[in-house]
Amino acid sequence: MSVHPSRRKRASPRKQARPKIRSLAPLDKENIAATALAVLDDRGLSGFTVRAVAGALGVTPMALYYHVHNKAELAALVVDASMHQHPFAIPSGDWREDLWAMARWTREMALAHPAVQEVRRTYRIYTKDILQMADRWLSLWQQSGLELTSAIVAATTSSMAIVGLVGEESIFRELAFPDPVSTMHLPNARLLFQRRHDPKQMYELAVRALIEGLHTRLMREPLRQPGSNPSTLPNRRVRRAR
């Protein structure tokens, strides 16, 4: 049976339109993490989607899911990638300077990748690198000579304060100053908004004052574990009722 020539012509366009299958070979965790971080930096948290990252990689979302099981795992890769781009400074041996170096690193990270902290909070990420950073932070406070309970309180308090400072700086950076007319009869408020200071210097001043203040206070008044008996603990002053 012969085939009509027109039928052969209609079949050929369908063969030409068949989509090409992309190879998964070039994909690896390092490439995925770097691309996902670039997408997050460019589009923010709202634009950080599996589809967007897959598109930037030139693959389908299903191909990306072959390497990462879900968006939370992709977010964890992004957090670690941002940390690897900005490695910690080599410890100096001076606990105060090393605490300051880590605090400075935290601010530099936030400036370089503003949306990373949002991703970390949203997906409650605690990677191995983050846990190592927490371990190092407490270790430095222990090197200061504080008792363990006081060192833990100092590490937790200073960590919260530093994260707050970094976050508030990013907020104030985007805020418009009030209209001068509104502060016409408020001279102190007017001075606060009119004066310009170097954010980097202000941050260092605040962090160093925080570290020194916590250490001085907790060395003078060590904290005790709830329910502990002060008379059985060495090197602790017991306040007697008069």
Q: With beta carbons less than 8 A apart as the criterion, state whether 225 and 149 touch.
A: yes
Distances, alpha carbon 13 to alpha carbons 22, 37, 191, in Å: 21, 40, 73
Check whether residue 72 and residue 141 sit in a common domain. Answer: no
* Span 127-148, pLDDT tens digits: 999 999 999 999 999 999 999 9
| Mean pLDDT, residues 171-189 | 84
Same-domain pairing of 67 and 124? no
Cα–Cα distance for residue pair 137/86, rounded to 1 Å? 17
Residue 144 forms part of a structural domain: yes
Q: What is the DSSP string of 208-219?
A: HHHHHHHHHHHH
Average pLDDT over residues 220-241: 57
Report the distance separating Cα 81 and Cα 18, nearest Å. 37
113 and 197 belong to one structural domain? yes
**Residues 67-83: tens digit of each pLDDT:** 999 999 999 999 999 99
Give the pLDDT confidence of 6-51 residue by residue, as tens digits.
444 444 444 444 334 343 446 899 999 999 999 999 999 999 999 9
pLDDT band at 58 (very low <50, low <70, confident <90, very high): very high
List the domain range (segments joined by +) for residue 188.
Answer: 90-223
DSSP states of 46-63: TT--HHHHHHHHTS-HHH
Residues 210 and 120 occupy one common structural domain: yes
